[in-house]
Amino acid sequence: MSNQAKVKICSVGKYIPEKVLTNEDLTEWLDTSDEWISSRTGIKQRHISTIENTSDLGTRAAENALANSDIDVSEIGLIIVATMSPDSQSPSVACKIQANIQATNAIAFDLNAACSGFVYASSVAEKMLSVSSYRYALVIGAEVMSKVVDWSDRSTAVLFGDGAGAMLLERNDHTQSFINEDIHADGSRGSALTSGESSVQNPLTPEKETNAHLKMSGRDIFDFVVRSVPKNISEVVEKSKLQLEDVDYFILHQANARLIKAVSKKLKQPLDKFPQNIQHYGNTSAASIPILLEELIENGDIQLGNNQTIVLTGFGGGLAWGSLLIKL
């Protein structure tokens, strides 16, 4: 191992499956309406995968991040995939992507922190890269939420969508993108969002019914976010010896436009510092932050190397939540 080095973000990429499902489309089999969904959540449509699995979306996002850089794939030493909707328990999505992009020198593993996964995975990747002998790491948020939601449950089916985003990190001597972090978990409140339950099943157990679909107490999550997230953001900014006014953008997990508005109000920061794309994609869980980051870089709102101050904030199942203060 070499001495601790700096870590910078060198490129991002995203991939969204083609098929669009509008709110109107959902009314074909759910007792819901565009008015209910858009007024409560801000969502107008979501993209749904028809054949591609989580590793396929993640592979395409990784390829796009690589295409936006000039690095040789053999120099990638680490791949972490944040996901709560893996193709399988084994092999991991990260190992599948490692094979697909032929990153033969990379170690690879998945990390599950639900909708906070990208924040958790970026933090872990930064720590590992800073003390490693390899030069590049890929952090990917990839989800096919459409395979875990119960399509007959209008209270959750309308909220989620599929997609993937990827970020390429470089160990270097000059530029540190990761300034500070404030990350938390509270497992005692985990029942507010459950998914993929697998109960003990063997010849010795009585028969049990397992409901693997995603279940969520929307109200509890909403209250938790409004209480915890503004405090979390204030703390990461304070730790960095900055003011909220110094932050150019707060890139929040895209769960609900009303939640984002509530956080902006509580922090007394203008809503236009909280970019949103939830209207197009719904809640893509661990993928939402890198997808939004990619779009902000793509449209020029954020320019890599321009020293803008950005807070990335994830929150959701676990419960897990956290913020990274980064300079881009």
Q: Give 154 or 171: the residue with its C-beta nearer to ligand ACO.
A: 154
Residue 119 lies near ligand ACO (rule: CB under 6 A): no
- Give the nearest distance from C-beta 176 to ligand ACO in angstroms: 29
* Spatial distance between the Cα atoms of 135 and 129, rounded to a whole number of angstroms: 7
Active site residue 280: no
Build a one-symbol-per-residue string for 227-256: x at contacts with ligand ACO by CB under 6 A, - elsewhere.
Answer: ----------------------------xx
Window 172-201: residues binding ligand ACO (CB under 6 A)? 193
283 is catalytic: yes
| Identity at 205, one-letter amino acid code | T
Out of 6, 20, 27, 40, the only residue in the binding site for ligand ACO (CB under 6 A) is: 40
The residues, any chain, with a CB within 8 Å of residue 269's CB and separated by 6 or more, are 244, 245, 247, 250
- CA dihedral for 276, 277, 283, 289, sign (positive or negative): negative
Residues 5, 172, 196, 222: which binds ligand ACO (CB under 6 A)? 222
**190 backbone dihedrals φ, ψ, rounded to 5°:** -60, -25
Catalytic residue list contains 213 = no
The dihedral formed by the CA atoms of 240, 130, 285 and 274, expressed in degrees to the nearest 10 = 30
Assign 130 to helix, strand or coil.
Answer: helix
Reduced DSSP (H G I as helix, E B as strand, rest coil) percent helix, strand, coil of the chain, to 5: 40, 25, 35
Angstrom distance (rounded) from CA 318 to CA 192: 8
Binder of ligand ACO out of 27, 32, 68, 228 (CB under 6 A): 32
- 47 touches ligand ACO (CB under 6 A): no
Residue 219 contacts ligand ACO per CB under 6 A? yes
- Give residue 98's identity as a one-letter amino acid code: Q
Binding-residue total with ligand ACO (CB under 6 A): 23
For ligand ACO, the closer of residues 166 and 255 by Cβ is 255
149 forms part of the interface with ligand ACO (CB under 6 A): no
User: Can you tell me which residue has the tokens 């098929």?
Assistant: 19
- Please tell me what DSSP assigns to residue 101: T
Amino acid at position 307, single letter: N
Asked if residue 135 binds ligand ACO (CB under 6 A), the reply is no
| Binding status of residue 11 toward ligand ACO by CB under 6 A | no
Residue at shortest CB range from ligand ACO: 316
Stretch that binds ligand ACO, among 30-38, 96-104, 265-273, 295-303 (CB under 6 A): 30-38
Using the Cα atoms of residue 52, residue 79, residue 192 and residue 284 in order, give the sign of their dihedral.
negative
Q: Residue type at 182? A: D
What CA–CA distances, in Å, run from 118 to 137, 140, 212, 293? 14, 7, 23, 12
Q: Does 287 bind ligand ACO (CB under 6 A)?
A: no
3-state secondary structure at position 259: helix
> CA 124, CA 326: separation in Å to the nearest integer?
14
Could you say which of 48, 142, 158, 169 contacts ligand ACO (CB under 6 A)?
158
**Residue 196 to residue 37: CA distance in whole angstroms:** 25
What minimum distance in Å lies between the beta carbon of 3 and ligand ACO?
37
Say whether residue 86 binds ligand ACO (CB under 6 A). no
Smallest separation (angstroms) from ligand ACO to the CB of 232: 14
Catalytic residue among 115, 213, 232, 280: 115
Question: Does 36 engage in binding with ligand ACO (CB under 6 A)?
Answer: yes
Interaction site with ligand ACO (CB under 6 A): 32, 36-37, 40-41, 114-115, 154-155, 158, 193, 218-219, 221-222, 225, 255-256, 259, 283, 285, 316-317
- Which residues form the catalytic set? 115, 253, 283
